[in-house]
C-alpha cells in the first residue's frame, strides 16, 4: 500500500466523522495549549526577574550574613546554620578600605505603620543610604532621595513611594510634610516616581529612611544585608575577595558571610524558574495523557463502526500490518492536527496574556512547544496501537457479518 493512499484513507475517515474528529482535536489541542500557556507563565516570570536584575547595574555583589553552602538566595542560611555574626555599621564602613569597592549600601527592611493627620496604613520600610538610588536608578518626582549622611546619623527623614503619597496626601504635595512612622515623627523629603518593582519589593508602597534611623525603629544593632558595588566589571572578583577578607578579619577569622554576584543570583533564579516551568509543563502534560486515553476510546469506537469494512479489507487480502497502519495513521493524523490547533490556540492565548499584562514578556520556551507537539503525536501513536491491533485481530468472517 502506498503512503499517499494510506494518508488519503485516513483523511477520508477523519473527515467522515466530523463530530468525533473535532472532539478529539479539541481534547488534544487543550492539552498542547495548556502546556504552552503554563510554561509561558513560568518563562515570563523568569524573564521578568532577569530583566529586573539586569536593570540594577552590572557589577554588584550581594552580601548576607551566614555561610550559605548551597549558593542559594541567602538570608535563610542565617537562621539555619547556627548564629552567624551580624553585620555592624563598622563592618559596612570597613569595606571602604578596598580600592575595588566604589560604594557599600547596607539595608534593613521591616514593616511599620505610617500616619498623616489620622490617615494611616501599613508600609514596607527600607533603611538604607543615598547610594541605593544609583543602584536602582530610581526617579524622584519631587524633593530628593536620601541625602549622603554619616552611617550612624539617624536623621528623621523619609522618601515615599507614589502609592503611599497618593493615599496619604491625595493631590497635595507631600514633600516637607511631617508624618508618623511607628511612634516617631519623620519629615518627608522626597516622593518617588511611580515605577515598577525592584528586587521583589513594590517600590510604590515603600518608604525609604536612613539606615541608622531604621535600626533605631527596629531596635537592632546590625544591618540585614549589603550591596557592594565594585569599581568595574573587571574588579568584581577582587572586590569579592576583599569583602570576604575584610569581614573575615573583623569576625575573628570566621568566614561567616555569603557573597553573591548578579551572575550567581541570576543562575540561581534561572534554576528555580526552570524547575517551576517544568513542573507547570508536567502538570499540563497530564491533560495530554488524558487526551491520549480519549484517543484510545475514540479509535475503538472507530474500529467498531467500521467492522464490516475491516472484514472486507481482510477478504480483499489486506495484511495485518496494513490494517494497523491504517488506524495508526488515522490516530496520528488526529493527534497531529490537534497539536497544530493547540499550538495556534496556545500562541493566541499567550498573545492575549501579553496584551493584558504588558509588563511581563510571556513566551512559551521552544523546548516546551516541541515537547508538547511530540508528546501529542506520540500519544496518538501509543494510544492508537491498541485499537489498531484490535482491528487487525478481527476475525474476517465475523467482521464481514458486522459482528
Partner 1 sequence: MIRFENICRDFKVGDETVHALKDVNQHIEAGEYASIMGPSGSGKSTLLNVLGLLDTPNSGHYWLNGRDVSKLPDDDLAATRHEIIGFVFQSFHLIQRMTALENVELPMVLAGIAPAERQDRARQMLCKTGLESRMSHRPDQLSGGQRQRVAIARSIVMEPKVLLADEPTGNLDSQSGKEVLDILEELHADGLTLILVTHDPVIGQRSHLHLRMTDGIIKAERQHLQRQPEDNGDAPS
Alpha-helical segments (H) within 55-191? 76-80, 89-94, 131-136, 162-169
Closest distance of CB 396 from partner 1, Å: 4
Taking the least distance from each CB to partner 1, the nearer of 351 and 393 is 393
Of the two residues 42 and 325, which places its CB atom closer to partner 1 in the complex? 325
CB of 346 to partner 1, least distance (A): 34
**Smallest distance, Å, CB 333 to partner 1?**
17
Is the CB of 185 or the CB of 319 nearer to partner 1?
A: 319
Q: How far is the CB of 9 from partner 1 (least distance, A)?
A: 8
Provide the binding-site residues for partner 1, judged by CB under 8 A.
Answer: 1-2, 5, 9, 12, 16, 308-309, 311-322, 396-397, 400
Q: Residue 59 has what DSSP assignment?
A: S
DSSP 8-state symbol, 187: E
Q: 4 or 358, CB closer to partner 1? A: 4
| DSSP β-bridge partners for residue 142 | 191
For partner 1, the closer CB: 82 or 402? 402
Cβ closest to partner 1, residue 209 vs residue 326 = 326
Closest CA to 242 of 361, 108, 126, 91: 91
User: Could you tell me the CA-to-CA distances from 80 to 63, 86, 110, 254, 385 in Å, in that order?
Assistant: 17, 14, 20, 17, 53
Instruction: Encode 277-299: b = buried (16+ Cβ within 10 Å), e = exposed.
Output: bbebbeebbebbeebbebbbebb
State in Å, rounded, how far the first CA of the chain is from the last one: 26
Q: Please, are residues 146 and 192 in contact by the beta-carbon 8 Å criterion?
A: no
Q: How far is the CB of 309 from partner 1 (least distance, A)?
A: 6
316/356 with CB nearer partner 1: 316
Distance CA 336, CA 285 (A): 16
Provide, rounded to whole angstroms, the least separation between the CB of residue 316 and partner 1.
5
Instruction: Give the CA distances from residue 4 to residues 1, 12, 13, 319, 334, in Å, rounded to whole numbers and listed in that order.
Output: 9, 12, 14, 18, 16
Q: How far is the CB of 10 from partner 1 (least distance, A)?
A: 13
Round to whole Å and give the CA distance between 135 and 60: 9
Amino acid at each position: 500500500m502506498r503512503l499517499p493512499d494510506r494518508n488519503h484513507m485516513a483523511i477520508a475517515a477523519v473527515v467522515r466523522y466530523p463530530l468525533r474528529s473535532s472532539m478529539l482535536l479539541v481534547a488534544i489541542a487543550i492539552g498542547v495549549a495548556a502546556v504552552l500557556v503554563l510554561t509561558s507563565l513560568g518563562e515570563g516570570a523568569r524573564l521578568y526577574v532577569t530583566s529586573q536584575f539586569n536593570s540594577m547595574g552590572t557589577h554588584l555583589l550581594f552580601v548576607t550574613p551566614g555561610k550559605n553552602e548551597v549558593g542559594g538566595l541567602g538570608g535563610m542560611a542565617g537562621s539555619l546554620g547556627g548564629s552567624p555574626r551580624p553585620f555592624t555599621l563598622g563592618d559596612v564602613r570597613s569595606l571602604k578600605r578596598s580600592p575595588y569597592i566604589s560604594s557599600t549600601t547596607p539595608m534593613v527592611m521591616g514593616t511599620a505603620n505610617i500616619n498623616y493627620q489620622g490617615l494611616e496604613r501599613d508600609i514596607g520600610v527600607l533603611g538604607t543610604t543615598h547610594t541605593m538610588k544609583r543602584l536602582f536608578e530610581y526617579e524622584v518626582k519631587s524633593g530628593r532621595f536620601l541625602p549622603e549622611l554619616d552611617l550612624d546619623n539617624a536623621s528623621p527623614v523619609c522618601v515615599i513611594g507614589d502609592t503611599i503619597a497618593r493615599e496619604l496626601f491625595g493631590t497635595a504635595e507631600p514633600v516637607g510634610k511631617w508624618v508618623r512612622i511607628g511612634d516617631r515623627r519623620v519629615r518627608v523629603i522626597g516622593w518617588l516616581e511611580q515605577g515598577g518593582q525592584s528586587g521583589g519589593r513594590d517600590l510604590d508602597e515603600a518608604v525609604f529612611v536612613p539606615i541608622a534611623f531604621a535600626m533605631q525603629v527596629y531596635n537592632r544593632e546590625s544591618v540585614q544585608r549589603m550591596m557592594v558595588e565594585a569599581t568595574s566589571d573587571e574588579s568584581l572578583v577582587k572586590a569579592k575577595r576583599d569583602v570576604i577578607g575584610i569581614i573575615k578579619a573583623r569576625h575573628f577569622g570566621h568566614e561567616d558571610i555569603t557573597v553573591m554576584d548578579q551572575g550567581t543570583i541570576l543562575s540561581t533564579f534561572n534554576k528555580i524558574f526552570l524547575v517551576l516551568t517544568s513542573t507547570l509543563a508536567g502538570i499540563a502534560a497530564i491533560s495530554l495523557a488524558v487526551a491520549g486515553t480519549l484517543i484510545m476510546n475514540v479509535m475503538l469506537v472507530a474500529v467498531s463502526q467500521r467492522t464490516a469494512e475491516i472484514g472486507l479489507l481482510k477478504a480483499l487480502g489486506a495484511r495485518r500490518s496494513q490494517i494497523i497502519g491504517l488506524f495508526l495513521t488515522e490516530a496520528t493524523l488526529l493527534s497531529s492536527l490537534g497539536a497544530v490547533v493547540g499550538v495556534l490556540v496556545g500562541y493566541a492565548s499567550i498573545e492575549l496574556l501579553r496584551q493584558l499584562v504588558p509588563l511581563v514578556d510571556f513566551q512559551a520556551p521552544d523546548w516546551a512547544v516541541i515537547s508538547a507537539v511530540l508528546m501529542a503525536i506520540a500519544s496518538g501513536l501509543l494510544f492508537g496501537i491498541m485499537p489498531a491491533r484490535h482491528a487487525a485481530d478481527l476475525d474476517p468472517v465475523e467482521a464481514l457479518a458486522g459482528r
